[in-house]
Amino acid sequence: MPQMAPLYWLYLFIFFLSILLLFFMLNYFIKPYNNMSFISFEKKFFSKSWKL
């Protein structure tokens, strides 16, 4: 029935919003690759003091 099409799009929109909200919540609580500090890499690779 064509009368049900607006409800179909409304359900899809609510589904999309819920997935987007879930993504933002997971991204807020589980931070991706922010724990890597580049200072430790610099210290690890370049901290050797060469003596002549």
pLDDT tens across the length of the chain (52 residues): 567 788 888 999 999 999 999 999 988 888 766 555 555 555 555 555 666 6
pLDDT value of position 30: 83
pLDDT of residue 7: 86
What is the rounded distance in angstroms from the CA atom of residue 52 to the CA atom of residue 10? 74
Work out the burial of residue 44: count CB atoms within 10 Å of its CB; fewer than 13 is exposed, 13-18 middle, 19 or more buried. Answer: exposed
pLDDT at 28: 85
Whole-structure pTM over 0.75, yes or no?
A: no
Q: How many residues does the chain have?
A: 52
pLDDT at 6: 85
- The rounded distance, in Å, linking the Cα atoms of 11 and 14 is 5
